[in-house]
Amino acid sequence: MTVHFPFQNSYSALPDTFFARVAPTPVAAPRLIKLNRPLAVQLGLDPDVLETAEGVEILAGKTVPAGADPIAMAYAGHQFGQFVPQLGDGRAILLGEVIDRDGVRRDIQLKGSGPTPFSRRGDGRAALGPVLREYIVSEAMFALGIPTTRSLAAVVTGEHVLRETALPGAVLTRVASSHIRVGTFQYFAVRRDTDAIRRLADHVIARHYPELSGTEQAYHALLAGVVARQADLVARWLLVGFIHGVMNTDNTSISGETIDYGPCAFMDAYDPAQVFSSIDEMGRYAYANQPRIALWNLTRLAECLLPLFSNDQEKAIEEAQDILGAFPDIFSQAYQAGLRRKVGLFTERDGDEALIQDLLDAMAKNQADFTLTFRRLGDAAGNEDRASDVRAQFMDPSAFDEWAKRWRERTGLEPQSAAERQADMHAVNPAFIPRNHRVEAVIQAAVNNDDYAPFEELVKVLAKPYDDQPEYAAYADPPLPDQRVLRTFCGT
Ligand code: AMP
Ligand code: MG
């Protein structure tokens, strides 16, 4: 049996300034750690064949499958506010695109597959820890219902990569509805290549916004579309306590998917100022700053699109500002609607926003666990006796009592039964998130003991985040003080 990838490549048919053709560098002794079988099926790939030695060699970059057209994509980007005119795939290679079972075009990319012309001083490789982190967190995001790139497979290479110490090397197979970023547009904008910007915009419209094809002011609508998807995405992040960690423009996807899980993490205790990245000293990418940064990144995209808007630059700028101006409202509507659902409100009334903000303020003041507070609140909505479980999340439990009284009065105005309210809340308030201390423990077991049982179990639990799964209740627990992970490191 040979592995058949039904490739239909479109990006590699764009002008050759868009990428560098480069094959993955073969590795010594690939071994499969994990194959995402349901995703393989979704992509039209045979999971049994992918698990054979030949399949694993492909997933490790040792063999290039028929029909692949391997390329490293060119892009630029603002990293922590600093513009870098050339970044590009320094350790990732796009094998090609397939049309999935729902008719959606998906990139299949190897990450950690060896050097490319964009590697600069990097080795083009990835260490096992970050590969497992990306696998776990991206698949958890998918299960939570949040747009994201996916993980098809993780393999170890049988080689070491040199970081602070020598670590086992690994390759992640990443699947995305595309890997086009704000930084891809910036790459051509800084080179004043308006033709390329137009080609790229047309490609993006055909691929991600086909309804705009051939319409008047399609490029304006494209910007508006990306603004809307990013605003919605960041609202969803906040609603589950997610901190991306490195919201650089090269890590901002045009399709509106979460991309590049480096030093990302889900918060335990609610703290709007929380950062995770060890290099984010200014708190630029702190939890509560994410909407502002998304808008900043979108403004960089708008700048790239100006030449497509109007020859009159002032007019073009005005139009761009109008479109960007929609962001705060789109974000805030999505965020507030999400919060209302989190606290079990079916309708919208004056005072709701303040009621919810008071809960968040009390949570922050009392170091209440973000995930558990909302999950237990759902339990309490179903059964008043469970209110003690919510109280227990607060350092000073009386801070919850005062709020709970107002909440009961407010929910009492709605006709839904306790059971209905609980079910609706449980459908949006996960019991299980990829807690950082769990992810760290999984990585330690894999890296130090070649033990992947903890990884398998964590992935399994996170696949059903909204189910109680009583046999795995411990996975819902926040870290003990000595288990707390305060910083995560960039995905290199
Ligand atoms: P990231 O922080 O993963 O978003 O990467 C930022 C840039 O650095 C991208 O252009 C990456 O391709 C590049 N990069 C990161 N790690 C490596 C590496 N080990 N080798 C080569 N390039 C890398
Ligand atoms: Mg990146």
Q: Using one digit for the tens of pLDDT, what is the confidence trace for 275-334?
A: 987 788 789 999 999 999 999 999 999 999 999 999 999 999 999 999 999 999 999 999
Residue 399, in any domain of the structure: no
Ligand 1 atom showing the smallest separation from residue 124 Cα: 20
Same domain, 191 and 163: no
Q: Which of 293, 239, 236 is nearest to 270 (CA)?
A: 239
Same domain, 168 and 205: no
How far apart, in whole angstroms, are the C-alpha atoms of residue 157 and residue 152? Answer: 16
Same domain, 188 and 164: no
Same domain, 265 and 206: yes
Same domain, 195 and 152: no
- Which of 335, 353, 381 is the endpoint of a domain? 335
> CA distances (Å), 135 to each of 14, 41, 141, 172, 226, in order?
30, 17, 10, 8, 25
Same domain, 218 and 325: yes
For 64-111, write each residue's pLDDT tens digit: 999 999 999 999 999 999 999 999 999 999 999 999 999 999 999 999
Pocket test for ligand 1, best of 22, 71, 86, 91 (most atoms within 8 A of CB): 91
Ligand 1 atom showing the smallest separation from residue 490 Cα: 2
For the cut 80, the answer to whether the pLDDT of residue 199 exceeds it is yes
- Give the pLDDT mean for 268-272: 97
Residue 405, in any domain of the structure: no
Of all ligands present, the nearest one to the C-alpha of 90 is 1
Same domain, 66 and 125: yes
Residue 240 neighbours by CB distance under 10 Å: 23
Q: To which H or E segment does residue 343 belong?
A: none
**How far is the centre of ligand 1, averaged over its atoms, from the C-alpha of 111 (Å)?**
10
Residue 166, in any domain of the structure: yes
- Which of 301, 335, 369 is the endpoint of a domain? 335
How far apart, in whole angstroms, are the C-alpha atoms of residue 354 and residue 116? Answer: 52
Same domain, 105 and 205: no
Report the pocket of ligand 1 as residue ranges, CB < 6 Å.
87-91, 118-119, 122-125, 246, 250-251, 260, 262, 490-492
Pocket test for ligand 1, best of 125, 488, 490, 492 (most atoms within 8 A of CB): 492
184 near 254, Cβ under 8 Å?
Answer: yes
Ligand 1 atom showing the smallest separation from residue 125 Cα: 19
Fill in the DSSP letter of residue 260: -
Residue 324, in any domain of the structure: yes
Of all ligands present, the nearest one to the C-alpha of 127 is 1
147 near 192, Cβ under 8 Å?
Answer: no
Name the domain count of the chain. Answer: 2
Same domain, 170 and 59: yes
For 111-155, write each residue's pLDDT tens digit: 999 999 999 999 999 999 999 999 999 999 999 999 999 999 999
pLDDT at site 280: 83
Ligand 1 atom showing the smallest separation from residue 260 Cα: 4
For 325-370, write each residue's pLDDT tens digit: 999 999 999 999 999 999 999 999 999 999 999 999 999 999 999 9
Indicate the average pLDDT of the chain.
96
The residue whose CA is least distant from atom 12 of ligand 1 is: 90
For 212-224, write each residue's pLDDT tens digit: 999 999 999 999 9
Same domain, 292 and 196: yes
First to last CA, the chain: 35
How far apart, in whole angstroms, are the C-alpha atoms of residue 92 and residue 128? Answer: 15
Residue 344, in any domain of the structure: no
Band (pLDDT 50/70/90 cuts) for residue 36 is: very high
Same domain, 129 and 224: no
Q: To which H or E segment does residue 162 belong?
A: strand 150-162
- Give the pLDDT mean for 400-428: 97
- Which of 178, 201, 222 is the endpoint of a domain? 178
pLDDT at site 491: 52
Token readout for 80 is: 């922590």
Q: Which of 324, 323, 179, 295 is nearest to 233 (CA)?
A: 295
The residue whose CA is least distant from atom 3 of ligand 1 is: 491
Residue 154, in any domain of the structure: yes
Residue 368, in any domain of the structure: no
> How would you classify the pairing of strands 77-79 and 150-162?
unpaired
Computed over its alpha carbons, how large is the radius of gyration of the chain?
23
Residue 378, in any domain of the structure: no
- Known binding residue 181? Answer is yes
> For the chain, what percent of residues have pLDDT higher than 90?
94
Dihedral Cα 378, 355, 287, 147, nearest 10 deg: 50
For 6-22, write each residue's pLDDT tens digit: 999 999 999 999 999 99
Q: Which residues are catalytic?
A: 250
Q: Which of 7, 13, 120 is nearest to 58 (CA)?
A: 7
Q: Which domain holds residue 256?
A: 183-335
**How far is the centre of ligand 2, averaged over its atoms, from the C-alpha of 18 (Å)?**
17
Same domain, 139 and 53: yes
